[in-house]
Amino acid sequence: MELTIHFFFNLSLIMVLLFVGVLWSEKLKSLRSIQITAAIIFILSLVICLLFTYPLHESYFLDLRLIPIIIGGLYMGLGPILAAIAIGLRAIYGLDSGFLFTAFYFLFIALLCFELSPWFLKKSSRKRILLSVIITFLLSLPEAITLILMDLFYPVFDVWFAYAIIQPLGVGMIAYFIEEIDKSILLRQHVIKAKRLEAVEQMGAAISHEIRNPLTAAIGFVQLLQDHTLSEEKRTQYLSILKNELQSAERVIQDYLTFSKPQINVHQPFNIHDELKHVVQLLEPTANRNSVQIVEDFSMWGTIEGDPQKFHQCMVNIMKNAIEAMPNGGILTVETKTTSSKVMIRIQDTGSGMSREQIDRLGEPYYSTKGDKGTGLGLMVVYSIARAMKGTIHVESEPGAGTTFELTFRTIPSTLENPETKEASEIGL
């Protein structure tokens, strides 16, 4: 039973290696990367089998090298490559009669699997598993018969069980494992494709809805402007409204372009203190109209690298959403915190808050906490810009308890003047 125990040990090592490979492949996105990982797993399996080989005789070493050669040959067409590696590894133990037998035996199996691979891959999942077991069983017989005929006083049952049961069983288990992984990958690709199509449909609906409204209004005012009896005062008023409607449509298009192409083309150091001050000043009229008090604390400042305009757009979208979440008034707190390597911007409102489900869906296409009044483009832009600037966003909220956005960016060493010192010097302190 010693050979049987050793083969089971070999098989367990191969299965562990395969499991590690699967965990690693979960992080990979391209099919090519997954295939390269699988090839490396098969090669490592050969190395492990030879490291823990069973020396039956000074010229004969027994292990499960056949399993990676058959699986790799049938599923990936790697039979000749794996066989060449297996033969090269076997040569380390000596160029004896056992080496010659191994070389011819593995080359025959590799070429056979290579030829069978296209036909094999056309079969259904169940048939592939069954065929891999049958092929392994048939290819294991010559080696088992050879060992028995050599009359090395080794138990016949042990030899037959090791080669006729363990090897086909191992191949069947690994084949089943591969088929399940393949199904999982196909399912995941199908889900991703479906989500992309859904996102495109939702995005199209959002853009169409948001652009149609101002354009419809603009067309109406253009028609009114065609009236030659219109007074100059009314004409000026209509032109102003027309301009505002067209600017509204332009903002929607700009948000979409920012979301679809969030790459940061401008890389320059800028002080978040100055940008946040500017955003607060810009939004003060909107806050006053909604009876919202803005409380700011920018005593901790930092310098980050990126596009100041897109950073400005990101902050405007978050603060504007926060103000709109307090229709009956409230307090909007904007503060900064810094560490040696990071700067955190904290934006907190006292609005209606959000549920966990709403938080999880923030940044999704066409998802808005405003219901029919919004498209979700604003927060999509926020998340896109933050990712492009290598920042992170953390949101905390509870229904009725307000919402807190925390944005974290990596700081850089700065030669810019401290804004607090600059302000003090300007007033002569």
Return the CATH number at 151: 1.10.1760
Q: Are 321 and 332 in contact (CB under 8 A)?
A: no
Is 204 within a domain? no
Q: Say what the pLDDT of residue 346 is.
A: 92
Strand pairing partners for 330?
Answer: 292
In the chain, the N- to C-terminal Cα span, in Å, equals 91
Burial class (CB in 10 A: 0-12, 13-18, 19+), 230: middle
Same domain, 281 and 404: yes
Mean pLDDT value across residues 115-139: 90
Six-digit token pair at 79?
Answer: 């039979």
Q: Say what the pLDDT of residue 202 is.
A: 66
Is 382 within a domain? yes
Q: Which of 146 and 405 is assigned the larger pLDDT?
A: 405
Six-digit token pair at 51?
Answer: 């490291």
Q: Among candidates 380, 284, 10, which has minimal Cα distance to 163?
A: 10
Same domain, 126 and 39: yes
Q: Is the pLDDT of residue 80 over 80?
A: yes
Q: Among candidates 308, 338, 334, which has minimal Cα distance to 320?
A: 334
Is 201 within a domain? no
Q: What is the pLDDT of residues 97-114, one digit of tens each?
A: 777 877 888 888 889 988
Same domain, 250 and 276: no
Q: Say what the pLDDT of residue 119 is.
A: 92
Same domain, 308 and 391: yes
Mean pLDDT across the chain, nearest whole number? 79
Same domain, 231 and 147: no
Please count the structural domains in the chain. 3
Strand pairing partners for 406?
Answer: 346, 394
Q: In Å, how far are 3, 85, 168 from 101, measured between CA atoms? A: 20, 15, 21
Mean pLDDT value across residues 294-307: 83
Rounded to an integer, what distance in angstroms lies between the CA atom of residue 280 and that of residue 206? 28
The single residue listed with the structure tokens 């700065």 is: 414
When pLDDT is cut at 50, 70 and 90, the band that residue 244 belongs to is: confident
Same domain, 297 and 174: no
Q: What is the pLDDT of residues 362-414, one digit of tens each?
A: 766 555 555 555 556 778 878 888 888 888 899 998 888 889 999 999 888 76
The residue segments making up the domain with residue 158 are 2-193
Same domain, 61 and 172: yes
Which CATH number is 220's domain given? 1.10.287.130
Q: Say what the pLDDT of residue 52 is.
A: 78
When pLDDT is cut at 50, 70 and 90, the band that residue 428 belongs to is: very low
Same domain, 273 and 236: no
Q: Say what the pLDDT of residue 152 is.
A: 57
Same domain, 69 and 138: yes
Residues sharing a CB contact under 8 Å with residue 259, sequence separation 6 or more, in sequence order: 377, 380, 381, 384
Same domain, 163 and 249: no
Q: Is the pLDDT of residue 427 over 50?
A: no
By DSSP bridging, strand 330-338 and strand 292-297 are: parallel
Six-digit token pair at 58?
Answer: 């000074």
Is 153 within a domain? yes
Q: Say what the pLDDT of residue 429 is.
A: 43
Which CATH number is 331's domain given? 3.30.565.10
Rounded to an integer, what distance in angstroms lies between the CA atom of residue 395 and that of residue 346? 10
Q: In Å, how far are 25, 161, 200, 202, 383 from 205, measured between CA atoms? A: 36, 64, 9, 5, 20
Is 247 within a domain? yes
Rounded to an integer, what distance in angstroms lies between the CA atom of residue 262 and that of residue 381? 8
CA atoms within 13 A on the CB side of 165: 11
Is 216 within a domain? yes
When pLDDT is cut at 50, 70 and 90, the band that residue 258 belongs to is: low
Q: What are phi and psi of 262, to 5 degrees?
A: -85, 10
Rounded to an integer, what distance in angstroms lies between the CA atom of residue 410 and that of residue 304? 6
Strand pairing partners for 346?
Answer: 335, 406
Same domain, 38 and 183: yes
Cα Rg of the chain, angstroms: 34
When pLDDT is cut at 50, 70 and 90, the band that residue 200 belongs to is: low
Burial class (CB in 10 A: 0-12, 13-18, 19+), 395: middle
- Which range is least confidently modeled, 46-50, 97-101, 196-200, 210-214? 196-200
Rounded to an integer, what distance in angstroms lies between the CA atom of residue 362 and that of residue 92? 59
Q: Are 80 and 110 in contact (CB under 8 A)?
A: yes
- Which range is least confidently modeled, 152-161, 312-321, 325-334, 348-357? 152-161
Q: What are phi and psi of 297, to 5 degrees?
A: -145, 95
Same domain, 295 and 232: no
Q: Is the pLDDT of residue 130 over 90?
A: yes
Rounded to an integer, what distance in angstroms lies between the CA atom of residue 190 and that of residue 182? 12
Residues sharing a CB contact under 8 Å with residue 131, sequence separation 6 or more, in sequence order: 74, 120, 123
Mean pLDDT value across residues 257-261: 62
Torsion, Cα 205 208 210 216, to 10 degrees, reads -140
Is 347 within a domain? yes
Is 200 within a domain? no
Rounded to an integer, what distance in angstroms lies between the CA atom of residue 106 and that of residue 104? 6
Q: Is the pLDDT of residue 292 over 80?
A: yes
Q: Which of 371 and 316 is assigned the larger pLDDT?
A: 316
Q: What are phi and psi of 428, to 5 degrees?
A: 85, 25
Six-digit token pair at 50?
Answer: 């030879």
